[in-house]
A = this chain, B = another copy of it.
Amino acid sequence: MAAAVLVANGESAAVKTPSTGRLAAVYSEVQNSRLDHPLPLPSVLKNSFKIVDGPPSSAAGNPDEIAKLFPCVFGQPSANLVPGDSIDNSSGRGLKIGVVLSGGQAPGGHNVISGIFDYLQDRCKGSTLYGFRGGPAGIMKCKYVVLTPEYIYPYRNQISLSVEADRSCIIPFQFKQAEETAVKLDLDGLVVIGGDDSNTNACLLAENFRSKNLKTSVIGCPKTIDGDLKCKEVPTSFGFDTACKIVFLGKTAIRDSIPKEIRYFHFGSSILPISWVSPFREIYAEMIGNVMVDARSTGKYYHFVRLMGRAASHITLECALQTHPNITLIGEEVAAKKLTLKNVTDYIADVICKRAELGFNYGVILIPEGLIDFIPEVQQLIAELNEILAHEVVDEAGVWKQKLSPQCLELFDFLPPAIQDQLMLERDPHGNVQVAKIETEKMLIQMVETELEVRKQVSAYKGQFKGQSHFFGYEGRCGLPSNFDSTYCYALGYTAGALLQSGKTGLISSVGNLAAPVAEWTVGGTALTSLMDVERRHGKFKPVIKKAMVELEGGKISMLTRSISLYILYRKGAPFKKFASLREEWALKNRYLNPGPIQFVGPASDNVNHTLLLELGAQV
């Protein structure tokens, strides 16, 4: 039988196994070398530990509504693992645990599974770990494999094989079917590895199981490929709960930088868990670095690079911090300043003109995939076009355009013909414009070209402009996880095992103090309801963990967590602030940085990403 863990299509991956050696090795030398890369555990997980509960938790918003939606699990304290010896495994009974990878691929997913598995092996003899196949659907259909060392080993430190982030995978669980599976397999616990929607569902499932008096606990594990898992506004007083939340989110103490005056205050802002973005970031940053060398040495192209990350611009910001491009567009800033496409075009053209005066007719420009979603006038135009295309005849002569509002007509005429065509032609099954398919980088090249032509006429620009477009997408999503990600994910899984053994439910596995050596990382669990707010949909309140956007406003937040004597310092907006403070220099001077390929051994092999370090107050 071949080793296959949670592969979407049920297909087997033939890889070498430690014990049998039966299977043909289809791993490259680098992949093979990763298999035995050691995974150190935080000290607290290496010895006996106990779980200390914090004070009751609230919600990220509308706690009353969240409390109504989650009567059983709302308000749970966060759990913190500290040295001690209180976990009861005296019964000697092993646990039956299920695990599922939900949503899009993220490097490191299988290390979470390895962590759970190893926890059960180390601390909870006689346990069984079921891997559900094909994402959450595997739970409903009770489609699983029993995970063994032979199954697990080939995926250590390898690329996560998960199911596509298909909406069908992450809409609410079919609770009835999930219950049947839980009962059938006699599950003590279930670990859901996923993003905001998946963790919301994990919490709904925890609530459901608890309300039915099922013994099955549910623990979430955070997975976000573009760093947009969000925990919005914590309106409670500061306390252990919040601290753990921050710990979970990867914003923990840099003890050397504790402000002398320790003040207690409310933690009134969203925080970002930048964690699993690293292979994205590193592969994209490597490619951007290469394009920069090309741009500079060739000396005659402007490279417009569109980067994955539609809802938020975290990846673009992180890549900018790593590579220092001449221009970086941050969607959140474009939205906050209510910029128009013309504004964006002018901004780019201005930099190009200034660079031309300095003799530089080349450059690198980073664009987030979701840019046009952040431009209000474009949204308005698309809404009007959808309406017109649904009800009107689109005539060659363009009479239909009279249906557009004047400002939308002006914008439409401002767009390059190819983009006009894309807006008119590309429809999704519901007849809507497929915004994601619009090649923003090509659109901007054409618009900038037109603008520069105009400036040339009035001698405001004397350079030569040639644009080259790039889209970095899928090729970055499935890279080998870095050393940091491998270790971090393993700790998340190991912690999830501990939380399940202690009977916790409705928590999300939380590993913090990430800027410190691994031994000093903190581990615990945070109430999933505490990350939630509600949205009103179809007249009903729906719980959501909202996506985190790039924070534009700065501010220091520091706090003392009483129960674990850990200081928390989080620099809100620090990544954007750093970027904003340097972008003028990057625009005109050439401060390009080429990070090179991800290294697993030697220099830079244990790097943590810039966004996280900046938020932790480190100098990068």
Contacts and interface: CB of A to CB of B under 8 A. Distances in A.
Interface of A: 7-9, 11, 13, 26-34, 105, 159-164, 283, 286-294, 296-300, 303, 322, 359-360, 362, 468, 470, 472-480, 590-604, 607
Nearest to A25: B593
B477 A28 contact: no
Contacts of A160: 297
A520 B332 CA distance: 58
Contacts of A591: 26
Contacts of A29: 595, 603-604, 607
A11 B29 CA distance: 40
A478 B28 contact: no
A28 B595 contact: yes
A290 B31 CA distance: 12
B30 A590 contact: no
Contacts of A478: 290-294, 297
A595 B598 CA distance: 12
A468 B125 CA distance: 46
A7 B296 contact: yes
B468 A474 contact: yes
B28 A604 contact: yes
15 contacts: A8-B297, A8-B298, A30-B595, A33-B604, A105-B293, A162-B297, A164-B297, A291-B475, A297-B478, A468-B474, A480-B594, A597-B599, A599-B599, A599-B600, A600-B602
Contact of A360 (B9, B13, B590): B9
Given A11-B360, A470-B475, A30 B299 contact: no
Contact of A290 (B9, B162, B283): B283
Given A474-B291, A478-B294, A479-B290, A31 B300 contact: no
Contacts of A288: 475
B474 A33 contact: no
Nearest to A33: B603
A26 B296 contact: no
Contacts of A603: 29-30, 32-33, 601
A390 to B, nearest CB: 24
A27 B291 CA distance: 15
A316 to B, nearest CB: 16
Contacts of A480: 594, 596-597
Contacts of A303: 474
Contacts of A7: 296-297
Nearest to A299: B9
A303 B473 CA distance: 12
B595 A597 contact: no
A31 B297 contact: no
A596 B31 contact: yes
Given A28-B289, A595-B30, A105 B294 contact: yes
Contacts of A598: 597
Contacts of A163: 297-299
Interface centre among A298, A468, A477, A595 (most CB of B within 10 A): A298
A30 B599 CA distance: 8
Contact of A30 (B32, B359, B476, B596): B596
A136 to B, nearest CB: 15
Contacts of A594: 27-28, 31, 159, 480
Contacts of A607: 29
Please list the 5 inter-chain residue pairs (A to B) with the smallest Cβ-Cβ separation, ordered nearest first: A30-B596, A33-B603, A601-B602, A597-B597, A293-B478
A6 to B, nearest CB: 9
B595 A161 contact: no
